[in-house]
Amino acid sequence: MRIVRTRRGAVVLERHAVLSTVLSAPGPLHDLYDVLAAAVVELSPGPRVVLLGFAGGGILAPLRALGWSGKLRAVDRSLELHGLYRELAEGWAGEVQVHRAEASEWLARRDGSLDAVIEDLTVCSTSGPTKPPVSVDVLPGLMRRRVARGGIVAVNVLPVPGMAWKTLLPRIAAPWPDARVVTFREYENRVLICGSGLPAAAALSLRLRARLRAIGSRQLRRIAVRTLPRGGSRAPVAARRRSGL
């Protein structure tokens, strides 16, 4: 892992994959985290938001730029990048509480309901960043139980070796009645938004784009939103660019 300083902050790389972008002021990242932030600001019914997978806290830049002022609770197994967050973002990031813990264990122990969960867990494999098994097997049901009525989860889904998108996405969305998928022009990742009574795909697309426009995100014209087909399957910061990252 290496840190590359930029005019706006720093980029954290694992091989050639971007694991996190940390800014020195609120603003758009011009990547999929703008969409994750827009989904939470637009759809969360309240301020009780948890981030699973903190890394350097990059998503705080678009969250705060969008006007979200709530307390963010975050969980990560490693605080290796916490120093970078404290250097660049702590002064403007608002109220943030970071817990060093395994995400599913922490969520299972937590009392009370949540309005939104941002699931951004990533592990590195020989083929690049991917989702840990817990994101597919344990967390979907656990998040469903912890999220209040009307709440949402927004998941950064990366490719998982040996599992096609048509299998992976329905597995993660299985506990929820509604799910929308955001795809990107330059990333393999999908953003999966799950909840109850979500806006139709076309309406959600307009609402997300309005949020992206408000912060000047270049993802404004680079996303597509669709409804996740459920079929019979109801019961993968890293951002991987299509050019090989």
What are the structural domain ranges in the chain? 28-81+95-233
**If DSSP codes are grouped into helix, strand and coil, which group holds residue 31?**
coil
Amino acid at 200: A
**If DSSP codes are grouped into helix, strand and coil, which group holds residue 221?**
helix
Q: What is the pLDDT of residue 241?
A: 52
Rounded average pLDDT over 58-70: 98
Q: H or E stretch including 204?
A: helix 201-215
For residue range 10-35, what is the model confidence (pLDDT) as tens digits? 999 887 788 889 999 999 999 999 99
- Give CA–CA dist 83/18, Å, rounded: 18
**Tokens 């889904």, residue?**
157
* CATH number, span 28-81+95-233: 3.40.50.150
Q: What is the pLDDT of residue 117?
A: 98
For residue range 113-130, what is the model confidence (pLDDT) as tens digits? 999 999 999 998 777 889
